Amino acid sequence: MTSKNGHAPMELAAATAKAAAAERFAAAIVSAFDVCEQVGAPLTQAQKVALIEATLLEFDGLEAQLNSLVAIGELLRGSNGTADLQ
């Protein structure tokens, strides 16, 4: 799998990690809503929307951050001539 910039596998890995993280955060938010209801302190619709908006904003740029971390790792591996940093 290739792309114009030659980083398709890296981009796919970052997108996959982002999707997995989004699923976990969504499940955590639903659990938080449930806990609030169980303890007798349900959130209002406005509070639920604010929490979801805050979560979405945290995801803005996550894929780019993951891509940059992978690129830095590749640069470090290339700079010392080893195939594996441990």
What pLDDT is recorded for position 6?
Answer: 57
* Residue 14: burial class (beta carbons within 10 Å; 0-12, 13-18, 19+): buried
**Per-residue pLDDT reduced to its tens digit, 51-85:** 888 888 877 777 777 778 888 888 888 865 455 54
Residue pair 52/22 in contact (Cβ under 8 Å)? The answer is no
pLDDT at 33 over 70: yes
Mean pLDDT of 26-43: 94
Chain position carrying tokens 């209002």:
44
